[in-house]
Structure 1
């Protein structure tokens, strides 16, 4: 395994990140080789195989999040929620917390 890597949860892994080591299933079968660039398809396949984290090359993992990509992903995740629905305040609050986390924003105490 490369010394310059970051173990990233599958939920936080994004398309475009590069694997710093091979990813194996519980039986030891190779699912993805070192150096593979993750895509939506590969992330979905890893989830189906029960993988919960992946070793990602640190230089790619440390890249600043793309605001438009984050918003697109959140729109998909919260697609059953109307963004400014004041009656569903809990889901709106959760979305704001997730958005702040994904965009690495400082949250006032």
Structure 2
């Protein structure tokens, strides 16, 4: 069982792993559980008025922050593959996908 703790958004750090979904006042999911937070995400949450996050307090069964980061990178790549599934294999599409992937992955580190 993974423990969690409540952390004010302004005290959360990049690399922190969400224990639960972050939702807005209407109940819409802003960030899914197990997301590894980066600085841009934290700033966006603060702008949206999110005050507190439930984050993973400790990690069990050999999982580490690096494991969560690797899983988030895999999720980003899978999402891009899905979004680009009809784009074709042309060189321009390949370059665009690579640039978007690099941009999204840079936000995780």
Instruction: Report the TM-score, using the length of structure 2 for normalisation.
Output: 0.51
Higher helix share: 2
| Deviation for aligned residue 1:3 | 5.8
Aligned length: 59
State the alpha-carbon separation in 2 of the partners of residues 11 and 49 from structure 1. Answer: 13
Deviations 1:60-86 (A, max 9, x none): 7xxxxxxxxxxxxxxxxxxxxxxxxxx
* 2:19 corresponds to 1:20: yes
Write the mapping of 1:1-109 to structure 2, written as runs, cut at 5 A: 4-59=3-58
Task: Judge conservation of contact 2:2–2:56 (CA < 8 Å) in 1.
Answer: no
Alpha-carbon distance between aligned partners in 1 of 2:15 and 2:58, rounded to the nearest angstrom: 12
Mapped partners of 2:29, 2:44: distance in 1: 13
Question: 1:77-105: per-residue Cα shift (whole Å, max 9, x none)?
Answer: xxxxxxxxxxxxxxxxxxxxxxxxxxxxx
The answer on whether the counterparts of 2:9 and 2:53 sit within 8 Å (CA) in structure 1 is yes
Match of 2:19, SS state, is: coil
Q: Deviation per CA, 1:35-79, whole angstroms, max 9, x where unpaired?
A: 00010010011011100010000017xxxxxxxxxxxxxxxxxxx
Partners in 2 of 1:3 and 1:16 — Cα distance? Answer: 17
C-alpha RMSD of the superposition: 1.5
Gaps of 5+ in 2: 60-109
Unmatched runs of 5 consecutive residues or more in structure 1: 61-109
